[in-house]
Amino acid sequence: MAIGLGIDGRLVLSDAAQAAVAAEAALRGYTSLWTPNGPDPFGLCARWHAASGLRTGVSVLPRDERWSLERIVTGARKTRDTDRTFVLGVGAGSVRDKPIQLMRETIDALRDRVPGAPVYLAALGPQMLQLAGARYDGAALNWCSPGQTLWSRERVAAGALGAGRDPREIRIHQYIRVCVDRDVTAARRALAKMTLIYAMNRPGADPTKGYRGHFARMGFDPVLTELEKMKAASASDDDLADAFPDELLARVGWWGPPEDAASGFESLTAGLDEAIVRVVAATDNGIEGVRLAMRSCVRAAS
């Protein structure tokens, strides 16, 4: 299994710090560097690759009003000019009208306009997972327990077999959130807040769709329903995070001191071809916080 490092815009890193982290990641045994959607993800990947020589990737760009096909193609072509190993991740984002059709059309266009580029599909539900197996190079999972990862892998394999493809050639990729801090209480709260940003339903939204439906499939629905009631009654973010049960939080992320991080991270990687250490900050969102997480998970990357 390949181990990558994921860094996002919530972390405060200068360009020099980004380059330093990238170079150290290569020395520590990481095999790739990943960024989510942001102001300039393509430029960031190019700078990371220049500093480290590692494969880089964007996971994922949403095909809604934020990212047009033309903008994605332009960025991917430019990045591929300097990094032939670059991986592009795309997803339907907030699109609710025929998202499967949109992502079929997207991969057709990308195959034609960015030939040779590996493309991963952000996939949570069964139809999107099957499409990843049938048409894409990888499935980019998110917030999956190990059991949900295996469930997802089965559906990717079904899509691949139905299209006459070898399921072993479809990469199963996932960010795994890791909050490493000696202040364990702060680490737990930071991870819980991050999880609830995705898991809790927005007022008026369909609780069976998107991430809310995804977490419900993993058995989180009763807890999330209670937390949503608390939020409606003006509970604070800290109160919501503290009320999130440890046993559920531990199924989708890890928090704790550095000496336990490698084993904690590894425990969440079953069924993956690529597991990405996605750094969550608690008391330090600068370079030393990133280095602590990166170095603490190094046993898994070695």
Residues of the chain with pLDDT under 50: none
pLDDT of residue 298: 81
For the segment 238-296, what is each residue's pLDDT rounded down to a tens digit?
999 999 999 999 999 999 999 999 999 999 999 999 999 999 999 999 999 999 999 99
The pLDDT value recorded for residue 38 is 84
The CATH number of the domain covering residues in 14-177: 3.20.20.30
pLDDT of residue 275: 97
What's the whole-model pTM score? 0.95
Report pLDDT for 183.
98
Please state, in angstroms and rounded to a whole number, the distance separating the CA atoms of residues 77 and 84. 10
Q: What integer pLDDT is reported at residue 75 of this predicted model?
A: 96
What pLDDT, on the 0 to 100 scale, is given for residue 301? 57
Q: Please report, for the chain, the start and end positions of each structural domain, with discontinuous segments joined by +.
A: 14-177, 184-243
User: pLDDT at position 204, please?
Assistant: 85
Answer whether 84's CB lies under 8 Å from 76's CB.
Answer: no
